[in-house]
Structure 1
């Protein structure tokens, strides 16, 4: 992609994977939008977009649905609800979903990252996860995870993932940027 200034990363600016995505986007000259909400602490302020309560409501979904889709319960549903709503805005705006975390035996991804991955599946978006345990990229294809590196075909993508980004995860993200966008 020749003109990177027309590419936009949508993220949440959180510690770990999301802030690493943001630093790499800045290094590569890619636009960055970080969705947040009042009172939420983020690490990245570049492209910060604080969602109003009305905007957050557009991403509202029953926590029972989230729990069923993710195959687990959330102990502090009220606390995570705004994060879930914010993730909706990320995935709704970005075409490709690129995540870092851990793929679970039930094919979900651990933590809040998993909701972004599940939304990508529901929205029929290309979704790729760097699994830090297996040290490899996986693509959701034909209702299963298959080994495969992410490719970017559109001008928007979502960068999300765990707060506990490993050194291998950091290297995988840099390699992703190099492969998708060329040298910095």
Structure 2
């Protein structure tokens, strides 16, 4: 990919992993779109797209399904619902999905971030998780997490993850962008 201005990164602009992805996209001259909703304050203001109630509904799914798929319950259902709905837009627009977080023993990813991973798997998208405890990238291949060294190889990609990003994860993201775009 020679013309980086033809690449678009989709996220939510939250502090932590999403903000770090956004800073790197900006540094490399990649288009950035951050999906937000009324009442949400993003760390990244670049490319903010405020989703209307109607647009959010396109990403609506029963919280029972989300809870079952992720194997956990969410206490603040209405707040998390809008986050879940906005994650749909990120994954729907970005062909590859990159995540920073923790892979749990049940093969899901911790927190709301896990919904982005589940959607990527459901949509049959290439999904990559930088696992902060193991300090390595993993991809969902043949129904298992396999260690990989990913590159961003499509003109659209999504990035999400924990608000509690570690320094080594920041380095891993910088290396991902360097490997992909230099």
Structure 2 gaps, min length 5: none
Q: Secondary structure at the match of 1:130?
A: strand
Q: Secondary structure at the match of 1:2?
A: coil
C-alpha deviation, 1:151, in angstroms: 2.3
Match of 2:68 in 1: 68
| Cα RMSD (Å) | 0.6
In the alignment, structure 1 residue 80 sits paired with structure 2 residue 76: no
The equivalences for 1:1-184 within 5 A come to 1-182=1-182
Partners of 1:93 and 1:156 within 8 A in 2: yes
Q: Distance in 1 between matches of 2:133 and 2:180?
A: 23
TM-score, normalising length: structure 2: 0.99
Q: Secondary structure at the match of 2:177?
A: helix
**Deviant stretches of 4+, over 2 Å:** none
TM-score, normalising length: structure 1: 0.98
Q: Secondary structure at the match of 1:81?
A: helix
Q: Distance in 2 between matches of 1:123 and 1:155?
A: 17
C-alpha deviation, 1:152, in angstroms: 2.4
Q: Secondary structure at the match of 1:25?
A: helix
C-alpha deviation, 1:77, in angstroms: 1.0
Partners of 2:102 and 2:109 within 8 A in 1: yes
Q: Distance in 2 between matches of 1:76 and 1:39?
A: 15
C-alpha deviation, 1:146, in angstroms: 0.2
Partners of 2:152 and 2:177 within 8 A in 1: no
Partners of 2:97 and 2:128 within 8 A in 1: yes
The number of aligned residues is 182
Partners of 1:102 and 1:132 within 8 A in 2: yes
Partners of 1:98 and 1:150 within 8 A in 2: no
C-alpha deviation, 1:110, in angstroms: 0.4
